[in-house]
Amino acid sequence: MIIAVAWRNIWRNKMRSLVIISAITLGIFAGVFSTAFMKGMSDQRIETAIKSEISHIQIHQPEYRKQDKLKLFVPEASAKAKRIRSLPDVRGASNRVIINGMISSAGKGSGAKINGIVPDQEKNVTNIHEHIMEGTYFEDTPKRVKPLVLGHKLAEKLNVQLRSRIVINFTNAQGVPTSAGFRVTGIYKTANHNFDGMNVYARYQDLRQAAALPEGAGHEIAVYLDNNEAVGNTKQSLIQMFPGVEVADWKDLSPELTYLNEAMNQYMYIIIIIILLALCFGIINTMLMAVLERVKELGMLMAIGMTRVRVYYMIMMESIFLSLTGGFTGVIIGYLSVKLFANTGIDLSMYAEGLQAMGWSTLIHPDIKIATLLNITVLVIITGIASSIYPSIKALKLNPAESIRTE
């Protein structure tokens, strides 16, 4: 009875009710969509970093990431990578030789990280081969040529093009200053300009021989999995298989990505709560107006026997109906909008320079979990209940005898 009366009451002034419901709908829609947008940005940054930069898991000598020395290599790393490729959930494992040195062209030089890779294995671990903008990814290279693939930012810094000669200077594993000549055969471009300005790729054998490392040795074994959910189990399996090495997942390798993911989750709820707080005051204002306009009516209801508790619940239900109607509509419209843009993406290419300087993609695919939508719905219900308390208390304080005489 009270529920039916409350529902009819909110439509007695259709314009006012529609305005407040529209405001709630728009606010919740904005909250849902902005939440999905930030979640999409966060997920894509993590996905880009895993696919192009660090992979899911890396294996090193225990002190390698702290000291980064050539002599801290993993013995028989190629054999270990082969064993890893036989594990379930593993899509690829690649052995790498890594040298930090000076890379020079005619008249220009820069510090760089030179990755010695096995191209066929690396294709299953990173997607650099998909980002080649000029030249090739170690395909059709004459045997006498030592090929080198570098990022477009580094190519611009060194002022080099395809077929340009590059010299890498470093100290080999025996402590002897060494230089090696290479030929640029490919230039790549990823979503991360900083990564493109530092990372260079050469063939494993060419770099291993120049660094005077044993056959099969490597500084890093990169492991790429079928899905992110398998990281924990695979990491534990690798720790048991290779007790003498360090096994680090992407969260260990790049703590800022973990922080980004956690921060985005917190920011999402902060935005939603701010929106709901603003809507809360709008609902309170609307319901106070409704109570003040119906002072005589409420007084008559109490005079003929309607208890104050029933009046309280009636006003409360009106506030909750306003919140739920607008809230559910906003959640549904927001979810449908997210699904629409999840497939097509939101193009931010006009901000490409700034975004790519920080490693962000220019095409964002919004995403939101059902659990997040349920949490937002619960917050909307709480907002409706909280908004109803003060107007309902105001109605309780009415004196029936005085209210009836009100014009």
Distance (Å, rounded) from C-alpha 388 to C-alpha 3?
Answer: 14
The predicted pLDDT at position 80 comes to 94
- DSSP codes, 343-373: HH-EE-GGGHHHHHHTT--SEE-----HHHH
Classify the phi-psi angles of 88: left when phi > 0, otherwise alpha if psi is within -120 to 50, otherwise beta: beta
Residue matched to tokens 């927001």: 334
Cα–Cα distances in angstroms (integers) from residue 6 to residues 39, 218, 239, 241, 313, in the given order? 38, 73, 63, 67, 9
The predicted pLDDT at position 277 comes to 82
Total Cβ atoms within 10 A of residue 243 = 8
Cα–Cα distances in angstroms (integers) from residue 256 to residues 45, 279, 316, in the given order? 11, 34, 46
Helices (H) and strands (E) in the chain, counts: 16, 12
**Below-50 pLDDT ranges, the chain:** none
Distance (Å, rounded) from C-alpha 125 to C-alpha 143?
Answer: 25
Q: Where are the beta strands (DSSP E) in 84-206?
A: 90-104, 109-117, 132-135, 147-151, 165-171, 177-188, 199-203
| Domain ranges for the chain | 2-49+258-404, 62-244
Distance (Å, rounded) from C-alpha 119 to C-alpha 136?
Answer: 11
Query: Over the range 339-360, which residues count as b (16 or more CB within 10 Å of their CB) and which as e?
Result: eebbeeeeeeeeeeeebbeebb
Beta bridge partners of 93: 223
Q: Say whether pTM exceeds 0.75.
A: yes
